[in-house]
Structure 1
Amino acid sequence: MSEQRIIRPTPISGFPEWTPRIRSVELRWLDHIRRGFERYGFSSVETPSVEVLDVLLSKGETSQEIYTLQRLQADADDSSDARLGLHFDLTVPFARYVAQHFNDLVFPFKRYQIQRVWRGERPQEGRFREFTQCDIDVINVDRIPLHFDAELPRIVHEVLTGLDIPAWTLNINNRKVLQGFYEGLGITDPLAVIRAVDKLHKIGADAVREILIDQAGLSSDQAAACLELAEIRGSDTTVVDAVAKLGVSHPTLTAGLDELGEVLDELSDLPSGSVVADLSIARGLDYYTGTVYEATFNDDPGYGSICAGGRYENLAGQFIRRSLPGVGLSIGLTRIFAKLVAEGRITGGRFCPTDVLVVLPSDERRSAALAVAAQLRERGFNTEVYHQAAKIGKQIQYAVKKDIPFVWFPPFDDGRPHEVKNLATGEQVEADPASWNG
């Protein structure tokens, strides 16, 4: 007989996984986020993990980020799966979903979507190849009111504040401000400039200036003006005055500043510094057309955005002959959670959700133990029966290791009552499974 080959278990870079105690905290986070979204009337949807490649590539993303599907045992001439790829975000699949189910939805359609996404990029701190995003979007027919651009940051502020994460700031800008300002400078390809400015926080002003001049074809004065605009920050409408002082005028710029000011006014009741207008925020994706968002940790802005999104005028228009503008925000759950785990800020919750372990004193008493467990479950207690007859001390130790708070002792004989032991206090008392309240 040949010796069995041992495959060494090793973690896969960029694909995080957690122990049960850490996972229990992540599940609580997910429940908290879901409740926060539903509190504002958002409905849950889920789309397939895959989309047709033409859909995924339709809005400016690079093919290098997309994992494609291919069956290991596929015939050489079978390319049926080659046109499918794992989705790299949830916004593009959502646009397809809205178009496909248009007649079954109620508009404005407010949806939330919490799912895994995949990106084929080099893993590093804060960047993963598989991660969970928590998206909220509002999409409407023909026109979507601007107040939704303020409602989404408010929801995210409530949700993230409730998670007690390190201090963070949500930065807001408007793509019309950037486009109008650049066009007012006489720049013929504003989108190229937007993509360059979007790299400002990663590569710095000097490198961006070089890109603007050498690759985007701007003059030194134009590049200087673009970088001067990117330096403007403020938590109120004084940012509008700061832009005006730069001496550039354009109708699109005026429209963008009006929208930005209105959103800031609606969010002015939030704690100071929670929301800041940052005119360096560009969001490089092509489909954003108005308000854009990007949140970072205050003490570690280089870690990357923990929340991002923006307004898109007609992302679903490629699928249906209707104008369907929308606005959305995405919380990067895995990016936030992994940082806190790595820093020891999340040490874990309970190993398992069991409330009560029912002791199995002997194989003959298994039916009685199972009956007690069923009765406790019916009353809302997560209950398990020890898997085999064993010494009581061993069964209690099992409960301790799994963080099970109560151990239930069914009668060892017909003359003894039920008893329950609180492992936190050590107290053991008589109890009735029909009335015990924990």
Structure 2
Amino acid sequence: MARPTPLSGFPEWLPDGRLVEQHVLDVLRRTFELHGFVGIETRAVEPLDQLLRKGETSKEVYVLRRLQEEAGAEPDRAGTLGLHFDLTVPFARYVLENAGHLAFPFRRYQIQKVWRGERPQDGRFREFVQADIDVVGAGALPYHYEVELPLVMAEALGALQEIGVPPVRILVNNRKVAEGFYRGLGLTDVEGVLRSIDKLDKIGADAVAALLVAEAGADEAQARACLELASISGSDESVIDRVRALAGESNELLDEGLAELGALIRAAAVRAPGVVVADLKIARGLDYYTGTVYETVLVGHEQLGSICSGGRYDTLASDGANTYPGVGLSIGVSRLVSRLLGAGLVKATRSVPSAVLVAVSNEDARERSDAVATALRSRGIPVEVAPSAAKFGKQIRHADRRGIPFVWFLGEDGSADQVKDIRSGDQVDADAATWTPDDADLWPRVVPA
């Protein structure tokens, strides 16, 4: 069989990379649960018409069709299933289906794979892991959750700095500020303006200005004003004053948005100083966002783009009679891990969980080696038994290749067992009922590279 060719956009980590990913997920999960978020998992597929109802294009969705369908047959669109491209739409459906069994406000975290049909590049994959948190209310959801959630994410990502993850900056804006400002200019296609502004980092100010004129109904003066708003940023309340000065005349929507943005800036200055920055160019092009929006960058790795984004949504989960507004953020775990590994920022202390390899002196003694391994495992020590009764030097080399720090030798003729630290060469008597490796060696750890 010829060597298989890797599929672009479908990451597969080596064992030490998988340990890094698992550590990141463990830290995120622990932080989310500390804040009262409960874990859920939703199915991998959704009806295609549901996946596409909020402005996404069909080019991003992997469509599932029955294997027995004739090649080239065009299935009924409403009956076609697609793999979910994020966790927000499935979560909205989950809330609607289970509303009678949930206590609101419902605090959820969800860590799952998603699939997106886009061109693979640095940090962008076709199959990847996301980690989401959301709070959803029944009928109403107070604004203070828009302040709480980015601070939870700041805490979660900040907890990863001890292993070498760079600091983060959470960039925030408020759709009410943007919409109030645009309408004050006389622009009515607010969604079109937001979609154009969302492309600012990708195509530059001149190209965005041209888009605003050509596609959003702006004249040149209105386009310049939109770009001036997008240029405002800062981590203190002077941002609010600058927006008011630029807007000139105020309106109710703009005032409401500025009050909310100011509350977030004030709270972040106390609980996560320097982490949350108001950035008026953050737009988030999806149509369902209605309030605060967020994007997060790694300091020193801004070219990677946002690793965590989201915002407030008021009508995404609605059955016509009942509405469940929410706010949420999503971490692109695979994007983050790919940068940590690719840039050599972190490493695992070893690539296997085993702390001890129990040597086998001969195959007749394997049962004794298995008994030692069982005794050590019963005390929470990860162990494996040598695959063959080779010469001890070969068994030690096997442990070294696997990164196992200790080799256990059975005593002969009544002598005590011994354990060898193959890094230092130290060898001491040991009893499977009492011997324990240092905490640093018990399990593999993720540390700065």
**TM-score by shorter chain over 0.5:** yes
Cα shift at 1:85: 0.9
Structure 1's unaligned 5+ residue stretches are: 1-5
Whole-angstrom distance in 2 between the partners of 1:412 and 1:69: 62
Whole-angstrom distance in 2 between the partners of 1:367 and 1:248: 84
Change in CA separation of 1:408 and 1:74 when aligned onto 2, cut-off 3 Å? farther
Change in CA separation of 1:412 and 1:59 when aligned onto 2, cut-off 3 Å? farther
Amino acid at match of 2:183: E
Aligned partners of 1:240 and 1:261 also within 8 Å? yes
Matches within 5 A, 1:333-352: 333-352=333-352
User: Which deviates more, 180-189 or 274-283?
Assistant: 180-189
Matches within 5 A, 1:48-87: 48-72=43-67, 74=69, 83-87=80-84
Aligned partners of 2:189 and 2:217 also within 8 Å? no
Whole-angstrom distance in 2 between the partners of 1:201 and 1:382: 48
Give the aligned partner of residue 269 of structure 1.
270
* Cα offsets for 1:69-91 (capped at 9, x unmatched): 13545566895997111111111
Aligned partners of 1:185 and 1:248 also within 8 Å? no
| Match of residue 28, structure 1, among 19, 23, 27 | 23
Give the aligned partner of residue 89 of structure 1.
86
Whole-angstrom distance in 2 between the partners of 1:29 and 1:410: 38
User: Which deviates more, 200-209 or 52-61?
Assistant: 52-61
Whole-angstrom distance in 2 between the partners of 1:137 and 1:327: 6
Whole-angstrom distance in 2 between the partners of 1:186 and 1:283: 22
Give the aligned partner of residue 292 of structure 2.
291
Aligned partners of 1:183 and 1:250 also within 8 Å? no
| Match of residue 161, structure 1, among 153, 158, 161 | 158
Whole-angstrom distance in 2 between the partners of 1:92 and 1:98: 10
Whole-angstrom distance in 2 between the partners of 1:78 and 1:7: 35
Aligned partners of 2:20 and 2:337 also within 8 Å? no
Matches within 5 A, 1:217-232: 217-232=217-232
TM-score under structure 2 length normalisation? 0.91
* Corresponding pairs, count: 431
* Cα offsets for 1:110-141 (capped at 9, x unmatched): 11111111110111122111111111111111
Give the aligned partner of residue 212 of structure 1.
212
| Match of residue 107, structure 2, among 110, 122, 127 | 110
Amino acid at match of 1:104: H
Give the aligned partner of residue 3 of structure 1.
none
Give the aligned partner of residue 396 of structure 1.
396
Whole-angstrom distance in 2 between the partners of 1:417 and 1:131: 50
Give the aligned partner of residue 261 of structure 2.
260
| Match of residue 117, structure 2, among 117, 120, 124 | 120
Cα shift at 1:382: 1.1
Give the aligned partner of residue 245 of structure 2.
245
Structure 2's unaligned 5+ residue stretches are: 438-449
Aligned partners of 1:170 and 1:293 also within 8 Å? yes
Give the aligned partner of residue 384 of structure 2.
384
Give the aligned partner of residue 279 of structure 1.
280
| Match of residue 44, structure 1, among 28, 36, 39 | 39
Cα shift at 1:423: 2.2
Aligned partners of 2:154 and 2:272 also within 8 Å? no
User: Which deviates more, 184-193 or 418-427?
Assistant: 418-427
* Cα offsets for 1:280-336 (capped at 9, x unmatched): 110001110000001123334332111100000121104x73221110011111112
Whole-angstrom distance in 2 between the partners of 1:155 and 1:404: 37
Aligned partners of 2:40 and 2:110 also within 8 Å? yes
Cα shift at 1:68: 1.1
Report the 3-state secondary structure (helix = DSSP H, G, I; strand = E; otherwise coil) of the residue aligned with 1:395. helix
Report the 3-state secondary structure (helix = DSSP H, G, I; strand = E; otherwise coil) of the residue aligned with 1:267. helix
- The CA RMSD measured in Å over matched residues stands at 1.9
* Cα offsets for 1:163-183 (capped at 9, x unmatched): 222243111000011111111
Give the aligned partner of residue 440 of structure 2.
none
Cα shift at 1:203: 0.8
Report the 3-state secondary structure (helix = DSSP H, G, I; strand = E; otherwise coil) of the residue aligned with 1:419. strand
Cα shift at 1:249: 2.3
**Structure 2 residue 134 is the aligned partner of structure 1 residue 137:** yes
Change in CA separation of 1:112 and 1:228 when aligned onto 2, cut-off 3 Å? same
Change in CA separation of 1:366 and 1:127 when aligned onto 2, cut-off 3 Å? same
Matches within 5 A, 1:350-389: 350-389=350-389
Whole-angstrom distance in 1 between the partners of 2:96 and 2:222: 41
TM-score under structure 1 length normalisation? 0.94
Aligned partners of 2:21 and 2:337 also within 8 Å? yes
Amino acid at match of 2:202: K
Whole-angstrom distance in 2 between the partners of 1:144 and 1:152: 13
Change in CA separation of 1:116 and 1:248 when aligned onto 2, cut-off 3 Å? farther
Report the 3-state secondary structure (helix = DSSP H, G, I; strand = E; otherwise coil) of the residue aligned with 2:399. helix
Change in CA separation of 1:78 and 1:286 when aligned onto 2, cut-off 3 Å? closer
**Structure 2 residue 8 is the aligned partner of structure 1 residue 13:** yes
Aligned partners of 1:202 and 1:302 also within 8 Å? no
Cα shift at 1:272: 4.1
Cα shift at 1:227: 1.0
Matches within 5 A, 1:292-307: 292-307=293-308
Aligned partners of 1:25 and 1:349 also within 8 Å? no
Give the aligned partner of residue 326 of structure 1.
326
Cα shift at 1:196: 0.6
Aligned partners of 1:358 and 1:385 also within 8 Å? yes
